[in-house]
């Protein structure tokens, strides 16, 4: 995915940004060693960090654990779910079925 936007269940438009390797390193640094190894926490944090704006209002890239939690709180379940659905790569069988192969 190369950016874009998605609407969540609350009707908000979320601008998305793909995380680069540098972004991932910065997110690891912001979370610290323990949370960076917690796959569930890191997954939600990565989704939150992938949203660059909500309804045109910028959502800065998180630089601390508190900033990650703030982003998750602002997005809520509807925002995190919408980002996850938009960023989740299609599996090969789905792509084949849609392509008619």
pLDDT along the chain (101 residues), means of 10: 84 96 97 95 97 97 97 97 87 56 52
Task: Give the global pTM.
Answer: 0.83
Q: Say which residue the tokens 């660059």 belong to.
A: 52
- Which three-class secondary structure state does DSSP give residue 54? strand
Exposed e or buried b per residue across 44-80, where buried means at least 16 C-beta atoms within 10 angstroms of its C-beta: bbbbbbbbebbeeeebebbeeeebbeebbeebeeebb
The two structure tokens encoding residue 68: 């990650």
Domains held by the chain: number = 1
How much is the pLDDT for 1? Answer: 45
73: DSSP letter: H
Q: Containing domain of residue 57, as a range?
A: 4-99
């Amino acid at each position: 995915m190369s950016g874009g936007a998605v609407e969540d269940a609350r009707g908000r438009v979320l601008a998305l940004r793909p995380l680069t390797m540098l972004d991932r390193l910065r997110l690891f640094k912001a979370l610290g060693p323990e949370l960076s190894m917690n796959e569930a926490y890191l997954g939600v944090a990565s989704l939150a960090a992938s949203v660059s704006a909500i309804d045109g209002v910028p959502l800065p890239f998180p630089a601390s654990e508190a900033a990650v939690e703030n982003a998750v709180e602002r997005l809520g379940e509807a925002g995190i779910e919408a980002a996850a659905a938009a960023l989740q790569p299609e599996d090969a069988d789905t792509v084949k079925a849609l392509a008619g192969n």
